[in-house]
Amino acid sequence: MEFGYWGFRGLANPMRLALEYAGVEYTDKRFASKEEWHAHRDGALKEAGVAFPSLPYLLCADGTSVSQSRVILRYVAEKHGFGGKTDAERWAAAMVQEECSDLFAAYVKVAFAADDAREAARKEQIAGSITTHMGRLEAFLADKEWVAGGDGVTYADLMLYDVVEWMWSLDGELKDAYPKLRALHGRVGELPAIKAYVARKDGDKPFIDRPFTPSKLG
């Protein structure tokens, strides 16, 4: 199985966490340049019949290819038993995934703002979208152990684990402002597969690598 993305964390961390949690063997293919990515896209991926060649992508041994980051996350989770056990859990996980995605979008607005507009964008996003979504997620999590409400981890917990770190990088005070989200982050971080991966990847560039702005990806 091959998972492909840039050599940084970007959209891909929840999928990498899911592959680690699933315990599958996979190649974590990290492209270092647009040229390298395009060569692979127009060569091996084309030959393999990948329908939507984009980053990230997942190419399985049986020839199945999955693109779109959030779909990859659900695909891995559903194949490996952490997609939610009941309908209620599955819908809860899907909603949380989308809420996390809204939070991530707020981060992107700040990261890609012009240098002289970034601080204003950061304040605006924290006061608006981030407060709204983190508040809802904190309330939804309430006293549940795992966010989808079942007795085990789902991919939504992994997505939440990832996105709160992006939020904390924008404002460290968000850690204390949402203690239940912080506690969930701690629980996910203690899962042996996640703990081992994070320790191994400690040197990963954590967030968007600014030179890789969309205009430079061509």
Q: How far is the CB of 26 from ligand GSH (least distance, A)?
A: 17
How many Cβ atoms sit within 10 Å of the Cβ of residue 208? 19
Residue 154 makes contact with ligand GSH by CB under 6 A: no
Q: Which of 18, 45, 50, 55 binds ligand GSH (CB under 6 A)?
A: 55
What CA dihedral angle connects 174, 177, 179 and 180, to 10 degrees? Answer: -90
CB neighbour list of residue 124: distance below 8 Å, 6 or more residues apart: none
Q: What share of the chain is helix, strand, coil (3-state, %, to 5)?
A: 60, 5, 30
Within 63-82, which residues bind ligand GSH (CB under 6 A)? 68-69
Q: How many residues bind ligand GSH (CB under 6 A)?
A: 8
Q: How far is the CB of 46 from ligand GSH (least distance, A)?
A: 13
Residue 13 makes contact with ligand GSH by CB under 6 A: no
- CA gap 14, 70 in Å, rounded: 9
Q: Which of 3, 11, 150, 156 binds ligand GSH (CB under 6 A)?
A: 11
Residue 10 makes contact with ligand GSH by CB under 6 A: yes
Residue 217 makes contact with ligand GSH by CB under 6 A: yes
Q: How far is the CB of 62 from ligand GSH (least distance, A)?
A: 21
Query: Could you tell me which stretch among 50-58, 135-143, 163-171, 180-188 binds ligand GSH (CB under 6 A)?
Result: 50-58
- CA gap 14, 98 in Å, rounded: 13
Using CB under 6 A, list all residues that contact ligand GSH.
10-11, 54-56, 68-69, 217
